[in-house]
Structures are given as structure tokens and as C-alpha cells.
Amino acid sequence: MTTLNHSPHILLIYTGGTIGMIENPITGALENFEFSQFKKYVPELQGFNFDIDALSFDLPIDSSDMEPRYWVKIAHIISDHYQNYDGFVLLHGTDTMAYTASALSFMLQNLGKPVIITGSQLPIGRLRTDGKENLLTSIEIAAATDSRGRPMVPEVCIFFENRLMRGNRTTKINAEGFNAFRSFNLPSLAHAGIHIKYEEHLIRRPEPGAVFKPHFLLDNNVMILTLFPGIRPEVVDACFAVRGLRAVILKTFGSGNAPQKPWFMDKLRALIDRGVIVVNVTQCYKGSVEMHRYGTGLQLLQAGVVNGYDSTMESVLTKLMFLLGHDYPHNEIVRLMNTDIAGEITV
Ligand code: ASP
């Protein structure tokens, strides 16, 4: 690892979430602290020889209130400051962090600089906080360069506990432990121990000469239907009847299987005939959809259901919002769903 010939410039962007909170000494309640004062709460930052600037959402949000318009806002912040910083660290609540990471991975095309998203399970103002370590290591990763002086990880990633993961491969799996995120279908891009060990062969880079291109259009006319034994026709009808619906993520069983009941398949075929895109994503965390494997999957393929491969649900949802937002023709959306565009699937 080498260093830049200037001290790295890092932009911290605080959107909200537990990491930016402290305990009110009088009431004991958790409150957002004034983020411009963050250096006071993390004096360890002085130890870096970096220029670190910070900005915050005017009204920090709990990430459960996350909306596509905030992803657009974050993409604007990054693109407006893109030339002036070597890397970006986004502080975000953990609840919807994987959705934000996935959305940004599609919106920030040809990204040539690190965008490292982190948060914490305990507020930064608590003695046992995991926030400081997550923040400090994320900053170090955002500033790291490879042996050729290029940014080490020019990707949208989530760093949590001790793993750096590709953002669009990540899912929140733990509401209690510090190890809150996993990337089940792609190994971590780096591990932080005494040293930060990067798996350089896994890290994506833009094509040489490709110019960074942010995108700001998203369409949320999508829905997720989780299958379960005993699902009733009325439930499926109600879902498929949503006005303006353009895509459905079908959360199937195992390697991408669904009930063989004729009523179910008839409704699905009618939906696809209406031009709605249906994508098959498995309810299993690990592994991939393989619709050829069982008759119960093959019938979906024959009906025109699109393969979601080994996507996380967060990734397939935000990819659909992104592609629909750009109003590509139907066939082009299907083609791009079958194409790895940001490292999100193994085809
Ligand atoms: N509810 C919080 C949020 O996602 C939890 C956290 O910050 O981790 O914003």
C-alpha cells in the first residue's frame, strides 16, 4: 500500500442513525449530536494525517425513514464534491444501509473513488460503542491506495465490525451483535485486523478512461411478494392489482421454486402478459436461483419470470428502481437484469 502525494481529503456525510448519537446526561435519552462538532466526540481522528470535512443532512433521519429521494440527495452530494475529495464515508443507520448501498452502486456509474458506508449498533457517545472503530477504519479504507497509487477500493461498500463488503451484496442479519452485516454470496473485499488485508482480485474498478457518471432517476413502482405455504389467491390478487405496478420481486423457495397450483401460475402469466417484470429471488440468503433444477422452478422460467441469480433482495429491488427510472424498453430492462452491471450478481 502506498499513500497519495498529498494528505488524503475525505468527506464524511452524516445521514442519521445511531452512530451520530450521544446520551443526554440529564435524561439518559439518545439524541443526535451537532455533527459539525464530531471531532470533539472522536478525538482519535486527530491521529490521522488526513483532511477530513464533514457535512450532515439538515435533519438527520433514522434510516427506517429512508426514501429514494434521499438516495438522490446523497448521489448529488457525492457528485458535487467528487473532484475535491479522495474518498467518501457515509454514516447511516443500519436498518436500511444495505438498500442505500445497493442503490448508490447503480446510481454512481464508473465510480473511481471509495464510498464507504458505515454506522454502529451503539451510539458513538457510549463507552462500549462500535461506532468509533467502524468510523476510523472506514476513513482509513477511504484513503487507502494500491501499489500504483490508485484508490484501493473504488466501490460503494459497507464496512462493519471487521469486514469490508461490496454494498450491493450485503444484508443486515443481526439486530443485536456488532457483526450486523453479511455478504453471503461474495467474500469480503477486505478484513480489518492488526492490518487491513485487501482482496484486490475481488475489487471492481471502472474501465480505463471511463468517466464517472451519476444517475438521479428512480421509479418505485415495484413490490415484493414473499411466497409461503398456504398463500391465498386473494392475497396474490391484491398485490398484482396495485395500480401503476411495473415490477414484482417474487421471493421464492430454495433454488427459485414456487407452488404448482394452476391458479397461481395463471395469475403470474396474466401479470407478465400485462408487461410487468417479475424477478425470481430466493428466500435463502446463500446460493443462487436455478430455475432449471426443479419442475416448480422451470414453470416460472417458461412463464417468463426473470432470473435474480444470487442477488440480495435489496440489490434486486434498487436495480429495478434504477432501470425503471431510466425508462428503458421492457426487453432492455430484462437484458440488464440478466447482466452484472455493478458486481451485484454472479451470472
Ligand atoms: N434505527 C436505526 C437506523 O437504522 C438503527 C441504527 O442506526 O443502527 O437508523
Q: Per-residue pLDDT tens for 207-266?
A: 999 999 999 999 999 999 999 999 999 999 999 999 999 999 999 999 999 999 999 999
Centre of ligand 1 from the C-alpha of residue 100, in Å: 13
Mean residue pLDDT of the chain comes to 94
Is 93 close to ligand 1, i.e. is its CB under 6 Å away? yes
Q: How many CB atoms lie under 10 A from the CB of residue 266?
A: 12
**Residues forming the active site:** 18
Is 62 close to ligand 1, i.e. is its CB under 6 Å away? yes
Centre of ligand 1 from the C-alpha of residue 26, in Å: 23
The residues with which 170 forms a beta bridge, in sequence order, are none
As to burial, measured by CB atoms within 10 angstroms (0-12 exposed, 13-18 middle, 19+ buried), residue 64 is exposed
Distance CA 200, CA 18 (A): 31
C-alpha cell at 257: 421454486
Phi, psi of 98 (to 5 degrees): -65, -30
Distance CA 150, CA 144 (A): 8
User: Which residue's entry shows cell 458535487?
Assistant: 80
Q: How many CA atoms lie within 13 A of 34 on its CB side?
A: 3
For the chain, percent of residues with pLDDT exceeding 70: 99
182 CB-near residues (< 8 Å, 6+ apart): 165, 170, 171, 173, 285
Residue 245: closest CA among 276, 273, 201, 202? 276
What confidence category does residue 5 fall into, taking pLDDT thresholds of 50, 70 and 90?
low
Ligand 1 atom nearest 121 alpha carbon: 8
DSSP E strand stretches across the chain: 9-14, 21-23, 30-32, 51-56, 87-91, 108-109, 115-118, 156-160, 163-166, 171-172, 181-182, 190-192, 196-198, 213-214, 222-226, 247-252, 277-282, 306-307
Per-residue pLDDT tens digits for 265-308: 999 999 999 999 999 999 999 999 998 888 888 999 999 999 99
Ligand 1 atom nearest 16 alpha carbon: 9
Centre of ligand 1 from the C-alpha of residue 290, in Å: 34
What confidence category does residue 35 fall into, taking pLDDT thresholds of 50, 70 and 90?
confident
Ligand 1 atom nearest 120 alpha carbon: 8
Determine which residue's CA is closest to atom 3 belonging to ligand 1.
93
Is 119 close to ligand 1, i.e. is its CB under 6 Å away? yes
pLDDT reading at 112 higher than 60:
yes
Angle (deg, nearest 10), helices 68-81 and 97-107: 50
Residue 309, sorted as left (phi over 0), alpha (psi -120 to 50) or beta, turns out to be left
Distance CA 103, CA 106 (A): 6
Centre of ligand 1 from the C-alpha of residue 179, in Å: 14
For range 153-175, the mean pLDDT: 97
The structure's pTM equals 0.95
